[in-house]
């Protein structure tokens, strides 16, 4: 009986030790798990904010949770200008300061920089210095042919969207057939500029003293046509406009009636990205809020 009692006592001691060790292991496991959860949350929520801009106020866009397949949606609590800037900051490495020549051009032609189409390429800057810079950029583009044209090419996504619109409505090119309506060379942009303006006018534009000319012709190296994202069309009916709008094409340069820009957004989303609707002589333009 004594031997049995000793064995039982020893067994009970072993059981208590095992129970204690189990409890310790369980506590350690809970602490580790809790620590992992905490760190996981920090990894998600404490990422540095990217794309912070300084204008009248600080604008920050948290891109830590974005992937290339997830479309960007501006914060609706921001004002129009802040929403627009937060969107284009994803595509432009630097945002020019207000009052500069670059800012004036961004205000006039910067609509394309909100584009969410991952198959499309945007220029790293919005002023090309010469033909070589323009050709170097254009050589990296994937182009698509505009149906029914002789030699009209746009970036593939823009061409496909335009072809869909033109399958719904007959929408002629401004010239009827040619490349001058579509993607242009630097020299073509230059030739158009000197057809309507000169160096004195360009100096006034750079000084911020002349802006109306930008609704007629783009200064050298600044046209959306250089990027394969604009086309000149002959549009006269609401049905034509509706077909273009449904496929991401809008008039974004005020008073340039034949000029259409591939923005790649639906019309209902344009205000969300900061665009201002402006109706001039019965034509609806979507203007940047700069």
b/e code 172-188 from CB counts within 10 Å (16+ = b): bbbbeeebbbbbbbbeb
Q: Encoding tokens for residue 13?
A: 């001691």
**pLDDT of 178:** 75
Cα 260 to Cα 55, 251, 252, distances in angstroms: 29, 5, 7
pLDDT at residue 58 in the model: 30
* Res 116: pLDDT: 82
Per-residue pLDDT of the chain (290 residues; tens, 9 = 90+): 444 444 444 555 655 655 555 555 555 554 444 443 333 332 222 222 233 333 333 333 333 334 445 678 899 999 999 999 999 988 887 889 999 999 999 999 999 999 888 888 999 888 999 999 999 999 999 999 999 998 999 999 999 999 999 999 999 999 877 778 999 999 999 999 999 999 999 999 999 999 999 999 999 999 999 999 999 999 999 999 999 999 999 999 999 999 999 999 999 999 999 999 999 999 999 999 99
Beta carbons of 289 and 81 less than 8 angstroms apart:
yes
Residue 125: its pLDDT value, please? 82
E strand spans, 169-256: 230-232, 249-250
How many domains does the chain fold into?
1
CA pair distance 136, 128, nearest whole angstrom: 10
Residue 32 lies in a domain: no
259-262: strand order across its sheet = 230-232, 259-262, 249-250
The CATH number of the domain holding residue 186 is: 3.30.1380
The model carries a pTM of 0.76
Q: What is the pLDDT of residue 177?
A: 72
Using alpha carbons, select from 178, 141, 180 the residue that is nearest to residue 158.
Answer: 141
Domain span at residue 93 reads 73-287
What is the predicted pLDDT for the residue at 93? Answer: 79
Q: CA–CA separation, 62 vs 60, rounded Å?
A: 6
Q: How far is CA 279 from CA 68, 197, 250, in A?
A: 35, 26, 13
pLDDT number for residue 30: 47
State the first-to-last Cα distance of the chain, in angstroms, to the nearest integer: 96
Q: Is residue 188 assigned to a domain?
A: yes
């Amino acid at each position: 009986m004594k031997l049995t009692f000793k064995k039982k006592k020893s067994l009970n001691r072993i059981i208590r030790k095992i129970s204690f060790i189990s409890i310790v292991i369980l506590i350690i496991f809970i602490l580790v798990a809790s620590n992992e959860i905490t760190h996981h949350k920090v990894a998600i929520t404490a990422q540095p904010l990217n794309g912070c801009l300084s204008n009248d106020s600080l604008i920050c866009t948290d891109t830590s949770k974005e992937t290339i397949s997830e479309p960007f949606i501006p914060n609706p609590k921001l004002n129009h200008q802040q929403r627009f800037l937060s969107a284009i900051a994803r595509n432009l490495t630097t945002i020019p300061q207000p009052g500069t020549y670059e800012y004036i051009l961004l205000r006039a032609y910067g609509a394309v920089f909100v584009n969410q189409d991952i198959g499309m390429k945007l220029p790293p800057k919005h002023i090309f210095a010469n033909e070589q810079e323009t050709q170097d950029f254009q050589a990296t583009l994937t182009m698509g042919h505009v149906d029914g044209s002789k030699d009209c090419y746009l970036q593939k996504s823009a061409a496909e969207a335009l072809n869909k619109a033109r399958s719904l409505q007959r929408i002629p090119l401004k010239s009827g057939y040619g490349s001058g309506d579509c993607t242009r060379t630097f020299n073509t942009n230059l030739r158009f500029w000197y057809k309507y303006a000169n160096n004195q006018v360009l100096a006034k534009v750079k000084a911020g003293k002349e802006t109306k000319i930008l609704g007629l012709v783009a200064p050298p190296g600044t046209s959306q046509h250089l990027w394969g994202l604009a086309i000149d069309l002959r549009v006269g009916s609401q049905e034509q406009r509706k077909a273009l709008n449904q496929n991401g094409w809008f008039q974004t340069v005020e008073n340039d009636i034949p000029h259409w820009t591939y923005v790649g957004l639906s019309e209902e989303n344009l205000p969300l990205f900061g665009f201002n609707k402006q109706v001039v002589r019965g034509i609806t333009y979507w203007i940047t809020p700069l």
